[in-house]
Amino acid sequence: MDVRSDDTRLQAPSLVALAVNAIRKKILAGELEQGERLIEERLTQELDISRPPLREAMRLLENEGLIYTRPRRGAFVATLTDVDVYEILTLRSALERTAFELGIPVRDPKLLDPAREALDEMDRCAKAEDRGALVEAGYAFHSRLIRIAEHRRLEDIYASLQQQVILCMSRNLIARERFYEDLEEHVRRHRHLFALVESGDQPAALAELAVHGERSFDATIVRRHGLAPGTAIPYDVTR
């Protein structure tokens, strides 16, 4: 038996997974910006891997919707237009509101355990200043709150938007931190929402959900429309 060959087969998937996670975090943390071309030579050096696992990693990231490729031009970080942001955020808001209307008061306290665990992960990521992982934990928190409705089709629809919502969350986190909200305040805002859900006060939870993202904005939109930093993006502005 060729031991070296077996070792290669065992290591290859882990190298691909490591590359996927590393590039994903760079995108979500804003280290790789929207529309930026992904240079293979640079990434192989930064990640200390060869081209085959890198290319497989990029193929998987393209399947996730985080990057896209152009023939003879290479791979680029996915871009969201103002209209994309508007449509994703309004749809996400409608789904989360439906989950709160159906699921509060929460019938089984155990349904909240996954969201509580995601909050703890958010706290850990904020303290470590791991912005990419914080975005992923933030998505996990919101998606797990959807489960309180115990509505499988609602969960499936929300899950189908996962990468689009994550991209919006990434852009939001970068802009919010730049202008007025540090990472720990970001987590505290989510803890407050969770506390209201846990309390069983549906009107209060819905009211907080309505303003939870009221300062959600994208720096590009802010500059384009001459809005002051910290201003909420009116939905008609993003059309």
| Structure tokens that stand for 41 in this block | 């030579």
225 CB burial (10 A radius; 0-12, 13-18, 19+): middle
Helix (H, G, I), strand (E, B) or coil at 233: coil
Element (H, E) at 69: strand 67-70
Distance CA 74, CA 162 (A): 25
- Give the residue among 200, 194, 91, 107 at the shortest CA–CA distance from 145: 194
Distance CA 175, CA 144 (A): 25
Q: Which residues pair with 74 in a beta bridge?
A: 70
Alpha-helix runs per DSSP H in 29-151? 40-47, 51-64, 82-103, 113-128, 131-146
Q: Is the pTM of this model over 0.95?
A: no
Residue 150 Rama label (left phi>0; alpha psi -120 to 50; beta):
left
Classify 228 as helix, strand or coil: coil
**Selection from 191, 190, 209 nearest residue 101 by Cα:** 209
Residuewise pLDDT in 10s, the chain (239 residues): 344 444 444 444 589 999 999 999 999 999 999 999 999 999 999 999 999 999 999 999 999 889 999 988 999 999 888 888 888 988 999 999 999 999 999 999 999 999 999 999 999 999 999 999 999 999 999 999 999 999 999 999 999 999 899 999 998 888 888 877 899 999 999 999 999 999 999 999 999 998 886 555 444 454 554 544 444 443 333 32
Ordered by where they begin, the domains of the chain are: 3-77 (1.10.10.10), 82-224 (1.20.120.530)
